[in-house]
Structure formats: C-alpha cells, structure tokens
Structure 1
C-alpha cells in the first residue's frame, strides 16, 4: 500500500511542480513584455489560473511526502523518493541548460553578428530585441535554478540522514552519467566545429568561414564543458571516496558508460579516418577529392582525444579495482563491438582492393571508377585494421591466458557471439558468392549475353568469397582450439569433482541421474548412494563399510531431493550427515505430501535431469547456479523476427554481387 501511495504522491507532485514552474516563467515573461503585449491578456489569465490551482496541489502533496519521511527512515530512503528528486532535478536542469545556451548564444551574437537582433536559438527568439531576449532567458534561469537548487538540497539532506542503498546509488549514477554524457557530446561537437573553423582559416583555400560561424561552437563549449566537468567530476569524486567508493567501484553502469563512450568515439574516429584517407587517396589517384580534408580531420582529432581519455580512465579503473562479473561482461561487450567495427571496415576494404585488382585485369585501362573504388577500399582497410588489431590483441591475450581467468574469457558470451557472428556472415557470403559465380558461368555457357566481361562481373563475388573463406578458416580454427581447451579443462575439473547422488525412494531417480551425468559429463567422479535396500539395488551402490557421514565428508557435491536434508523425511542420521558435509548441495524441489515450494512449477523427470546436468556444468565452470528457463512467448516472437531478418540479410548478400 505504501508503494502505491508513494507513486500517487510523487506523480501528482511532479506534474503540479512542472506545471507551476513553467506557468511562473511564462507569466513573468508576459509581464516583462518578452513576447509582446498583443497576446499578454489571454496568456496571463491562463498562467495565473495554473499557478493558483497547481501551487496548492503541489504544496499539499509535497508536505504530505515530507511528513511521511520525517519520522520514517525507510520512507526517506525509498528508491521512489530518490527517483522523484533526481528525476525532477533532471527535468529542471535540462531546460535550464537550454536557456543558458540561448543566453550565451544571444550574447555572442551581439559581439559577432551585426544584425542587432537577439541571436538566441529558442522558438520565440526570431525578431526579438536584445532586451526581450535577455529578460526571457534570465527569467527561466532564475525560476528553474531556484527550483533545481531546492530539489538538490532535499536530495542531499536525505542522503545525509539515510545513505543511498544500491537502488539509490544507481539513480544518482544515472543522473550524473546522463549529464556527463550530454556535456561530453556537446563539448565534442563544439570542439569539432571550432577546430574546423580554425583549420579553414589556414591554407590558401577560398572557402572562408565568417565570425558568425563561431557562435554555436563557442556557446557549446561554454555550456557543455562545465556540464561535463561538473558531472564527471562528481562521479569521479564518488568513485574515489572511501565511504561510497566500494559500491561505485563495483558499478556496472560506470563501466558501461566508459565503454559506450570508447565505442562511440572509436566508431566516429574510424568513420572520420576513412573519409579523410579516401579524400587524400582520391587526390593521389588524380580524382576530385569530394570535400575538404579538414572536415573529417577535425572529427578524427577530437574523437581520438575522447577515445584516449576514456580508455586511460578504464585502464586506471582496472588497476584500482578487482573486476566483478558484470563489469567483465560490459568490458567484453565493448571490446568485441569495437573489434567488430574495425574488422568489418578492414574486410570491406580488403575485399574492395581484391575486387579492383580483378576488374583491372579485365579492363582496358585504369579508369576513374576503378580508382574511386580503390581509394575507398584502401581508406577503409587503413582505418579499420589498426582498430581491430589493437582490440583483438587484448582480447586474444585475455582468452589465451592459462587458469580460470582464461576459461572465463574464452567462455564469454560476447566473444562467442563475435566469433560465431563472423563465422555466420562469412558462411552466408561464401554461399551467396558461389551461387552468383555459378549463375554467371551457367549464363555464359547457355549463351546469355553479359553486360561487360565475365571476369569484371565476377570480381566482387570472387573477392568477397576469398575474404570470407579466410575469415571462416581463421575464426573456425580459434573456435576449434577453444573447444578442445574447454573440453580438456572440463574433463580435468570433472575428474577432480566428487559427486554423490542420494536417493531416498526406490532408486529409479538416482539411477536415471547417474546414467545421465555419465553420458553428458564423462569422467565425472560419481558415487551413487542408495539410502534404503531397494535404492541400493537399483542404483548399484558399491559396498562401503564407512558410515554415511564419512562418505559425504569426502564429497564435493551432493545431488538429491530436498527431503535428504530434513530429519522428518530422511531421518536424523541422513539429515545430519548431509548437513555436516562440507560439500555443496544441489537439492531438487520434488513433491511431497504436506510440503509445497513457493513459485516453483512441477517438473517432469526429463526436465529434472536437464536441470541437474545444467547445474553440475555451472559448478564445473565456476558459475553461479541458475535454472534453465523455457522460452517465453516474447522470446519466441523475437526468435522468429531474428530468423526473418537473417533471411533478409541472406537475400541482400545474394543480390549484392549483381549490382
């Protein structure tokens, strides 16, 4: 009930606060003549009505929330309350930044533009005087700033009384990293435009950019850089603070943010480098460069700085903390995403080069179309290959390491998706290429006239089929090697893992489990134990003069129904032996009269065996034990959509060689 009450209070408070805030801003702007007097009367009446009705509603609900929080730490530290405070801070800060941007833009326009009009960027800025522009933006800055400051004071006071738990810390991180990313994007875009302006002032080009072109980049730097510095600085302070550092250091969101920036900047840098190299190569080959190199050069330089800084930050984080599983997954995802970008660009470039060479053999001369293709191909190869080589060297170094760390890297989901993804694309490329080659050869044999020479028509198909064959061979060899290493490691761990399978009933369950484990995990040190004469006979329990406690004391893993751990069902001796054993226990939720498992659906015998094998594999791999979950209807729909998309990709690849 308290959760529903919180939702009601904070939703009403948010809606009324935002309505009143913007009504006050609009009212002040009308009273000050920012929008002109011709529409002031109607607007003022509406704005006063919103304030008169909305203000009491907000005050009543906010005082209600404060009264509930005053005597209840749980209420004060509730995630929904923190979400309300940080959410409203964000809703107030975003338009505040917009008004600050328009104010700076207008002031710079007065200095750099000679029109005399207000040069803001707002919807109503066209035709406004300087005085109207200043008053309009200052009004919004004052109202939004005061409300934001009040919300921040409330959030700070709550954090002092009740330090944020995991949910509260996550909300705070989302707030900080969101504005940090916004500031970084704004700063990067402004720096790119400013550097482009500087570069265009150099050289002997006739293309000159006037001072008016400086308004947007300087404004972006004035707003974006302080925003990024403050938000990122607060995140860094929390990371290095001993009081909150442990929670921040194990945060997957921070790792995700850093890797996302690295991925985005790498993508932008590779794209810019490709355009830059293509322009230079076109000039070298005697073609029109199609644009000025200073445009992509500014993109490459700025995004390279962002890439380098965040990569160094990631390296410093790695040296400072012990990477937890979620952070490792984020790192692996970023590695293979960036590696995929580099490898895809390199392969496309290499395929284009081979295709150009093949087409050259059939061409009378090295024409402009061949030169253009060669320029693009060399540019893509030169831009993508270093990126892939850098990332792949790190990934391979981690995956080929000996010990548990190497096993974890080789079994990472992101790595396997990367390897099998390129394997899949390579297979489809070979399939499509060979189909097209055979198709063209049959056309020639049947006398169907071709447009151009046969070799020129087959150039793309031959080139990309050869590249795909190399990708298939390389990634296939890696997968085979890792498969052998994985099997050897699992067999070694299985031989060292002593598993006891206990059965309280007639032994059929225990016998089925033992047979399934022997079939699925050969080499596993299994010890079937029947707890009554019938089970002993059915399971083929070897004779052992030692007591059950002595046998289980030497076991690493115990598998059995949950009843073996309960004295009322298994007897005091069995339950005590199971409980005293240092082995890990895998207990099954089998049905029993008078006992019920909450939230667990009945399993069939086959499903039980699947769950046991899956759990034992997880133990061998050092993973947390989790169930096999059946596919949900949403997952089935997603799989169907994925299959359709793959068929579309296949058709695209099949028709790509025709163009």
Structure 2
C-alpha cells in the first residue's frame, strides 16, 4: 500500500540524513581541531564512511519523495511527512542546545575556577567542536524548516500539519519546563548547601545551573508565546493534547511536591522526636530537595491555574467534568493508599510497643515519624478530593447520574474493593497458616505478637472494604431510584418500515432498558399510511433507507422540527452505499444510535466515537517512539547536567 511505501522512504531518508550530518560533524571537527597521533585517521575514516554510505541512500530516497510530491500535491499534507519535518527539526535543535549549553558553561566555570568531570551528552569537547556541531545542525534544521514551511504554504489548514505542529510545540514545552526546574535546582542548591572544604561541587552546579536556566527560560518563553496566541483557534483551545499536557503537568507536579514534603516531614519529625541534628545540618542534608521544591511549586501553581481555565473554557461540559473527575479520583486514590499505609504503620508500632518482647525504643522515632508523615501527606490529599467526588455522585441531577455511572468512579471503587479483598485473603490466609503450624508444634517466635498484628491488619482492611462496598451499594441504589425531576419530558418516536421493523424493535428494547424515563413510541409505516408527528422538542429515529424508499417519510420529515436521527441500516436491495462509513454489524449500529438518542435527550452535542484507523494508530505509535527517543535524550542531558 502507498502508506507503507511512504513510511519506508521517510524513515530511510531520516536515518540516512542523520548519518550524513554526524559524519560531516566528525569530519569538520577532525579537520579544524586535529587530535594527536593516530586519532585523526580514525576520525577521518569514521566521518568519511558515514558520509559516503549515507549520501547515496538519502539522495535516492529523497528524490523519490520529491517526485511523489510533484506528481501528487496531497503528499505534502500526509501524517508521515509532517512527522518527518517536525521530527527532523527536533532532532537537530536538541544537539544545538546541548552544545550551546557547553559554550555558555565554559566561561562560567573558568570564572568559578572549576572544571567538568565529563562532557555533556551530544556536545563536543572543545569550543571548535561545539561551534561545528551547532552550525551543521542549524543547516539541517533550516532544511527541515523549509520543508514544513512549503507544506504550510500549500495547505494552510492541513489537519496533519496542525496535529504534529501541536505535538512539536508541547514537546518543547516539556523540555523547557523540565530543564528550567533542573537549572533552578542547581542554582538554589548553592544557596541552601553549605560546603565543607573547597566547595568545588557548589561552584560546578552554579555554573551549570546558570547556563541551563538561561537556555531553558528562552525555550519556555518562546514556546509559550507560540502556544498562547494559537489558543484563539477553537481547534487548538479544545485539543485533547492540551488537556493531556495540563493534566499530566498538574498530576506530576503535585506528585513531586507531595513526595518531597513527605520526606521533609518525616525527617523533621525524627529530629523533633530525638534524632540528634541541627538546623544547618538538616538544611544541608535536604538542600537538593528544597532546591527542587521551590521551582516545581511555582511552576505547578502556574499550570494549575491554566488547567482550571482550560477546563472552564471547553465547549464540551461532559469532557470537562470527566477530566476533573479523573484527576480528583487519582488524587483520592493516592490519598487513600497513603492514609491506609500511615494507619497501619501506627497500629503496627502500637502492637510492638504494647506486646513486643524485644521492642527497640531507639527505633520508635523512626517508625512513628514514618507513620505520621504518611498521614500528614495522605490525609489532606484524601480529605480535599474524596468529599468532592462524593458530593458530585450524590446529586440527584444529570451530573450526579453521570458521575455514578462513569467508568472512572466504577474503576476507582472496584479497584479499592479488589485490593481490599485480595489483601484480606492474604492476611487471613497467612494467619491461618501460622495457626495451623503452631498447632502442629512448629510455632514461630513472637507468635502472639504476629497474631495481634494480623488481626489488626485484617480489621483495618475490613473497615476499608465495608466502607467502599457501602459507597458502591449506595451508588447502585441511587441509579435505580433516580427520578429525573429536572429533565423535561422527552418523547422519542421510532419510525420504521416493515423491512426494518425487527432492527427497530431491538432498538426499542435497548432504549427501554437503558433510558426507561423516555416516552417511547414505535410506528411501522407502510406505503400510503400516515402517522402523527411528535412535538417539536421530541426526537425522531428512522432507518435512512426509508427516507427515499417510502414517500410518506418525506412528508413526515418535512413537517418535523425536532431532532432527527437516521440509522444506516442495510436496505433489502443493497442499493445504498454509505460513503465515509466503515462496515458495522447491526448491533454496533444500534448501539451508536442509542448513544445519539441519549445525547439528544440530555441536551448534549452529538458526538459519536469512530473506529480507530490502523494507519493512524501506526502513525501515532511512530510519533510516540520518536517522542520517547527525544525525551530519553533530554533526560540523559538533564542527568548529565546534574551529575556534573
């Protein structure tokens, strides 16, 4: 197929161009900055081999690509070509920035009288190497930029170009934010950390931190200034990628903040409970954590506000509510787990203190601090999230019904119930096993303490299990007893001809089961027979083939002012072919119709899920792999900065 052919040519063109680029960098660096002794011949051989091997493959495959573009202009807006253009820009700008960091850091290290322990990832060892790499990567970047610029000029509203450009911008935003956190962390580390001795580590981190912060700030500002104006367009403002980015940025930021706070609270409690230390020693020991906490908190607060604004501006309220529900559920789940672990830590400590024979009071502060720290982090998290979910689910309106029926809430409750049931089985099973062993004369040391602990653990798990079972049962009762007092009475008229009567009867049964509150009527219309039309606010559902096979349907539709849902059922003669629709079984078609009826009855905009295209999935996988490679390079760079 043409898509497979296109994928092959662009992958080979990308790889061969990278081989040529790094071969030229090796040749230029060896020519300008010749190594001593036999190193020059090795570099020249390697560079020449890369260029001589990569060049013919690139020219061959790129000439075929250009020929396809000249023959068919639509090639310029294909998904794979967009990935190639923006992926090549990304693959060339990352080495540019790493070498720019090496150039900026070098004078700073000279000023601070320190030297790096190793060279940066994807960066040369000397100023010449850095300059050569920057120049050649920028030339390749310009080549990729010209490709995408020409594609945009040919197709200003290209969907694939917009999608990949959006992904490209958000990848750079992630790179900018993560690099900014690393740079500020290294700068703040020098403030919190009091060096002992020469202090070389502090100066080295300061030099790297200043350089990284300057570059990361430029990336973040430039990318943000491109993204914010683009949000005036509805497609950019409501893009699922933006929702995913803001969702993950808030979730990851909060997770990092709470993890650091948990460690700080734990160690602070140990100090207060008697572990010998002092304030300077405590700050020194946690200087890295404090240096991360400050920038990540500021960035999280900024994107938390953006996340709230984004959800409020979404035109689809269902999507906004579902996103908020998922985010709150994840926070509640994390808080639930932390509270459980904290309570069990304190119960276990109490059992050891009251019953244990060999209880070491020297370990009291450590275990008590662990339990209290878990509660200090988990309890506020759970209290500020779980009541919100409960308040939403206990409402007697459509929002409450959707919350109770949501997959997120069901998964949340069943996951906790599953974990509790399995945990209870394991705790009780281990207890029974030890009891039988004891009866058989093979008792373990401190058997009484073990029994008390297992009973306490089983009791705690039982409390968790009974509570969430009660919540689930309450949801189920509310679903059965829900009376839609706020929803206006809606009548649904199912019109059908004799050929489609069986399918429409099946749809009638599905509606009565899923939405019994609807006033439902099924009319079979034969040639020449008329029927009363429903009220203007009602919904009419009929087979699409009937609109032209039976003239009476045309008259009914002409006078009807409500919502009309056409079902693409197969006609008996096989004359109708539905353009743009995939082949579906009758049951799938009726389920899609049921989804549309529900949306119409609840006043939602019509939105039906479409089947995933195999090539689209392959393209997304390819883009994801490229993105993962880029993120790996970025994280490797950030790791090298921290290590240095």
TM-score, normalised via structure 2 length? 0.79
Task: Give the corresponding residue for 1:121.
Answer: 120
Could you tell me how far 1:399 is from its partner in structure 2? 4.7
The answer to whether the aligner puts 1:526 opposite 2:526 as a matched pair is no
1:348 to 326, 335, 341: 341
Q: How many residues align?
A: 601
Task: Give the corresponding residue for 2:533.
Answer: 551
Q: Distance in 2 between matches of 1:231 and 1:384?
A: 32
Q: Distance in 2 between matches of 1:263 and 1:517?
A: 38
Q: Distance in 2 between matches of 1:313 and 1:512?
A: 46
Task: Give the corresponding residue for 1:600.
Answer: 583
Could you tell me how far 1:48 is from its partner in structure 2? 3.5
Task: Give the corresponding residue for 1:469.
Answer: 462
Q: Distance in 2 between matches of 1:349 and 1:506?
A: 61
The answer to whether the aligner puts 1:194 opposite 2:187 as a matched pair is yes
Could you tell me how far 1:614 is from its partner in structure 2? 6.6
Across the aligned residues of Structure 1 and Structure 2, the Cα RMSD in angstroms comes to 4.2
The answer to whether the aligner puts 1:28 opposite 2:28 as a matched pair is yes
The answer to whether the aligner puts 1:412 opposite 2:393 as a matched pair is no
Q: Distance in 1 between matches of 2:451 and 2:97?
A: 56
1:572 to 537, 551, 559: 551
Query: What is the 5 A alignment of 1:266-345?
Result: 266-287=254-275, 292-322=285-315, 329-345=322-338
Closer, same or farther: CA 304–392 of 1 in aligned 2, 3 Å: farther
Task: Give the corresponding residue for 2:223.
Answer: 234
The answer to whether the aligner puts 1:263 opposite 2:242 as a matched pair is no
Could you tell me how far 1:142 is from its partner in structure 2? 1.6
Closer, same or farther: CA 513–153 of 1 in aligned 2, 3 Å: closer
Task: Give the corresponding residue for 2:40.
Answer: 40
Gaps of 5+ in 1: 126-131, 534-545, 633-659
Could you tell me how far 1:411 is from its partner in structure 2? 3.8
Secondary structure of the 1:550 match is coil
Q: Distance in 2 between matches of 1:254 and 1:232?
A: 17
Closer, same or farther: CA 525–120 of 1 in aligned 2, 3 Å: same
Could you tell me how far 1:27 is from its partner in structure 2? 0.4
Q: Distance in 2 between matches of 1:2 and 1:554?
A: 49
Q: Distance in 1 between matches of 2:225 and 2:396?
A: 34
Q: Distance in 2 between matches of 1:164 and 1:477?
A: 53
On the 8 A contact 2:86/2:165 being kept in 1, the answer is: yes
On the 8 A contact 2:538/2:563 being kept in 1, the answer is: yes
Secondary structure of the 2:374 match is helix
Gaps of 5+ in 2: 615-644
2:199 to 210, 234, 240: 210
Task: Give the corresponding residue for 2:641.
Answer: none
On the 8 A contact 2:539/2:565 being kept in 1, the answer is: yes
Task: Give the corresponding residue for 1:389.
Answer: 383
Closer, same or farther: CA 84–588 of 1 in aligned 2, 3 Å: closer
TM-score, normalised via structure 1 length? 0.77
1:128-156: CA deviations, max 9, x gaps? xxxx6111122111211232234335434
On the 8 A contact 2:99/2:122 being kept in 1, the answer is: no
1:207-230: CA deviations, max 9, x gaps? 567233442464255235533543
Secondary structure of the 1:121 match is coil
Could you tell me how far 1:72 is from its partner in structure 2? 7.1
Could you tell me how far 1:171 is from its partner in structure 2? 0.8
Could you tell me how far 1:556 is from its partner in structure 2? 3.2
On the 8 A contact 2:544/2:569 being kept in 1, the answer is: yes
Closer, same or farther: CA 443–403 of 1 in aligned 2, 3 Å: same
Q: Which moved more, 1:344-353 or 1:164-173?
A: 164-173
Task: Give the corresponding residue for 1:254.
Answer: 242
Q: Distance in 1 between matches of 2:546 and 2:459?
A: 61
The answer to whether the aligner puts 1:432 opposite 2:421 as a matched pair is no
Task: Give the corresponding residue for 2:567.
Answer: 587
Could you tell me how far 1:367 is from its partner in structure 2? 2.0
Could you tell me how far 1:439 is from its partner in structure 2? 4.7
Q: Which moved more, 1:511-520 or 1:474-483?
A: 511-520
Q: Distance in 2 between matches of 1:627 and 1:313?
A: 28
Q: Distance in 1 between matches of 2:331 and 2:37?
A: 56
Closer, same or farther: CA 114–276 of 1 in aligned 2, 3 Å: closer
Q: Distance in 2 between matches of 1:247 and 1:611?
A: 25
Task: Give the corresponding residue for 2:130.
Answer: 137
1:257-296: CA deviations, max 9, x gaps? 1221221122222222222122122223334789834443
Closer, same or farther: CA 342–163 of 1 in aligned 2, 3 Å: farther
Task: Give the corresponding residue for 2:620.
Answer: none
Secondary structure of the 1:451 match is coil
Q: Distance in 2 between matches of 1:438 and 1:503?
A: 66
On the 8 A contact 1:190/1:218 being kept in 2, the answer is: no
